[in-house]
Structure 1
Amino acid sequence: MPTELDTATNGRRAAMVERLESDGALTDPRLRDALLHVNREVLLPHAYVRVSDPGADPIDWRLLDGSHPEDRVEWLDLIHSDESILLQRDGEPLDALGRGPVTGGHMTSMSTFTPGTLEALQVLRLAPGRRFLDLGPGPGVSLALAAAITGPGLAAGVERDPHMTAFAQRNLDRLGLGATVVEGDALHGHAAGGPYDRMHSGVGVPSVPPAWVEQLAPGGRLLTTLATRTPSWPGQLLVTRTPKGRIEAALRGRARGYRPVLGFTWLSALDHRARVEADPGTTRPTRLGPPPDDAYGFWLAAAYLVPNVVRDFQAATMTVVAPEEDSWAVAGSGDGTVRVHGPRDVWAELEDLHDRWMRAGRPDTYRVDLPADGGPQVVASGAGPAALTWLLPPLAHVPGQPPRRPGAR
């Protein structure tokens, strides 16, 4: 007989699905059924809530324990929301966390915000019988949903943190979905279980690990975020292997993406916010009005071709900061001016790139060449002298990642 908790969680799950369908985030009927039947409360039995304001260090947190009556309503609302669920500080063990206030530490594992998970799984086109690999599954929400669709024994994940690996496997076993999590470096994939029909990376990478491409089956699809030093303009990369074995890859800009691999340091405009407000810079005319936020093809190119800058999305008008050069640009309110500060004229670089982007035909999608020999990965908007092109940085340049040995897999 259903308990009061069962009734509460089932009701919230149904309301979550209805909301996601209304918002247009959920369109796949198989995924809809999986969302209704996978018990999120098993996979997300606790959640950290940030108490401190942005920029505070150390950070104050509050841990919600889903089994505690005083936390239950807030916890249930949170894990059925569209927010990312914060689960682990600094790689801590997860089997003896104490509820309530806690100070210090930074999040090393979290669940992806639900609309992002749904977008990724729907782009992958999951279906029964397809072999699925989740690279960096964290608590296993996307892995559980995939396993509910593919069937038992076909869905696996590779997680580098031993505590999160054990935590996710224990919870997945409780759901009885036949999904497996192995401890290892997600950048190496999981050759023993391949090749895979569908591969999903829950972490952003600066370029595509050769092992991922090698483990993709004919007809397979791989989805990942390409990470740069700025979190402002992420790119979503879809890699496909044709039935004849040819690799094709398309990169598109998105409003949000996955966090980068551990050790990758993002730039931040936060430390400059007060200074920008106090001294926005010298006013000059500009031929470029603030490009719209949804000009994803332009902003994606800016992440690479106007490097080491970051946008402050909390500013009243468009503000772009180059923290390491102590430079910034503040766009005017449609009056044909911009204010610039510092030795680097960030806005002039954006003006030049916008001209090039227009000449290239305002590309929204970029082709990525992934050489089979592991050579340089080149991004291009097309062919000809007007095309926008750039190189993806090699994996060896990611801070905190050991260099790959020649020929190593």
Structure 2
Amino acid sequence: MTSESEIETVAADLRRQLARRLDKDGRLRSPEWRAAVEAVSRHVFVPRFYRESDAPGVTTWEPVTPEIVGQEDWLRLVYGDETWVTQFDGRDVDWADPKPISNAAPTSSSTMPGLVVRMLEDLDVREGLNVLEIGTGTGYSTALLCHRLGDERVTSIETDENVARRAREALTRSGYTPRLLVGDGRAGHLDGAPYDRLIATCGFRNIPSAWLEQVLPGGVILTTLRGWMRSLGLVKLIVTGDSASGWFSEDDPSFMIARQQAAPESLGMVPGTYDGTKRKATYGPEVFSTTGSAFMAQLAVPDARFFCHAVDGGPNSTFVLDGVTGSFAVLAPVDSGWQVRQGGPRRLWDTVESAVATWEEYGSPNTATFGVTVSRDEQVVWLGNPNGPHWPLPS
């Protein structure tokens, strides 16, 4: 298999297989989006990529190209329901001589088709609607939108100039010519407004005010809210004038955070051995590793991050640092469980424990029980209903 026509013949069959799998899984629910999945050649948008190695030790990523793994295996991987990484640490890969990569953070990828399609289905589009996409990436999801709605109805913004250039080339090669822009997606694109739908394929700490201004009343904003510790989840908001509200989904897609909202490199000042005041902790650091409580911790202390480190040669302690206020909490194991030492303007662990306790009072519900209300003045996540317990999103 060497010619373009031979590759396309195999790819067309793989696209049909992919569509059948997504249909069976309940991700693909409409004939229009199924037609788009069967028509758009994902291999044009992901000609080469990295996959995570299963070797033990430090996380390592292996390059995948037709030359390295063979064309048949390359195509089979491309049309699998997997996310493939295409960039690390904001720097382009040297594809002339690709090497395994370790100790690097993915910064661009082609999201798994199942999630892409699920989000597009949730966007509730129909003919004649205008869509603004935040995060062009490889351009694959942009192509699906173009196939469904027409090029003139799709505007897409990418923050990375080189990523945007490759997406434009792939879209042009595939016969699609949407409006493509390079810039900060938080600003939207006023000249193309108003939009009926806005979809973001990267995570945001809050909802940018420009989105509220540029999406029509009754329109939909579909995005992932996330923090510096973890993803909060996918939220679908309905715009009503100067505000919007909606619910989280049960799923927890963990998109990369928008580069303009990435955490600062410095975690903040590490406290001294005797800094702060001590008490027995009700909850230990398992809060951060359990889905529901980790969601609550992220809501409770949105400017914090945590890490584990041995103190004075003893067992690991968990440090929780708020780089904005300078507050800290240090969890250390003791015979009876955990002891916490806190200092700074905010009692971080008090705040975390209060949020987790509230969640447990309400029966430890999943994320679909939480909603979001945003306006120009305030953005909050609430539990159960807008008058229930609530936590502000970071400004």
Question: TM-score, normalising length from structure 2?
Answer: 0.75
**Structural mapping, 1:242-281, within 5 Å:** 242=240, 245=241, 247-252=243-248, 254-262=251-259, 264-265=262-263
How far 1:340 sits from its partner (Å)?
Answer: 3.8
What is the RMSD of the two structures over their aligned residues, measured on CA atoms?
3.9
1:70-89 → structure 2 map (5 Å cutoff): 70-89=69-88
Question: Counterpart amino acid of 2:296?
Answer: A
What's the offset of the Cα at 1:113? 2.0
Secondary structure of the structure 1 residue equivalent to 2:74: helix
Q: Establish whether residue 46 from structure 1 lines up as the match of residue 42 from structure 2.
A: no
Distance change (3 Å), C-alpha of 1:383 and 1:40: closer
Match of 2:239 in 1: 241
Structure-1 separation of matches of 2:339 and 2:373: 37
Q: CA deviation at 1:183?
A: 0.8
Distance (whole Å) between structure 1 residues aligned to residue 68 and residue 12 of structure 2:
18
Letter in 2 for 1:40: R
Partners of 2:318 and 2:77 lie apart in 1 by: 33
Cα distance in 2 between the residues matched to 1:112 and 1:54? 25
Q: Distance in 2 between matches of 1:189 and 1:55?
A: 41
2:151 aligned counterpart, secondary structure: coil
Question: Where does 1:2-401 land on structure 2 (aligned, <5 Å)?
Answer: 3-51=5-53, 56=58, 60-66=60-66, 68=67, 70-93=69-92, 97-103=95-101, 105-231=104-230, 233-242=231-240, 245=241, 247-252=243-248, 254-262=251-259, 264-265=262-263, 300-305=295-300, 308=304, 324=321, 325=329, 327=331, 339-340=337-338, 343=341, 352-357=354-359, 359-360=361-362, 364-371=368-375, 374-381=376-383, 382=385, 387-394=388-395
- Give the structure with the larger strand fraction: 2
C-alpha displacement of 1:328:
7.4
Structure 2: give runs of 5+ residues left out of the alignment: 266-279, 309-316, 322-328
The one-letter code sitting in structure 2 at the alignment partner of 1:249 is: S
Per the TM alignment, residue 311 of structure 1 is displaced from its structure 2 partner at its CA by 11
Task: Go from structure 1 to structure 2 and tell me whether the alpha carbon gap of 1:328 and 1:222 turns closer, same or farther (over 3 Å shift).
Answer: farther
Please list the CA deviations of residues 115-162 of structure 1 after superposition, one character each: whole Å capped at 9, or x if unmatched: 221221111012222111110121112111111111121112111111
Unaligned runs of 5+ in 1: 268-282, 313-319, 330-337, 395-409
Which string of whole-angstrom CA distances, capped at 9 and with x for unpartnered residues, describes residues 245-280 of structure 1? 36331242533232211262399xxxxxxxxxxxxx
Does the aligned pair in 2 maintain the 1:239–1:247 contact within 8 Å?
no
The 1-side partners of 2:264 and 2:22 are apart by 30
Instruction: Give 3-state SS (helix, strand or coil) of 1:201's partner.
Output: strand
- For the Cα contact (< 8 Å) 1:52–1:61, is it kept in 2? no
Which is further off, 101-110 or 118-127?
A: 101-110
| In 2, Cα distance between equivalents of 1:251 and 1:130 | 22
Q: TM-score, normalised by structure 1?
A: 0.73
Q: Give the number of aligned pairs.
A: 354
- CA 284–375 in structure 1, closer or farther in 2 if over 3 Å, else same: closer
Deviations 1:78-115 (A, max 9, x none): 22112211112333357x72254244654221112222
Q: Alpha-carbon deviation of 1:10?
A: 1.3
C-alpha spacing 1:215/1:383, structure 2 compared with 1 (3 Å): closer
Measure the CA separation in 2 of the matches of 1:27 and 1:213.
28
Q: CA deviation at 1:228?
A: 1.3
AA aligned to 1:107 is: P
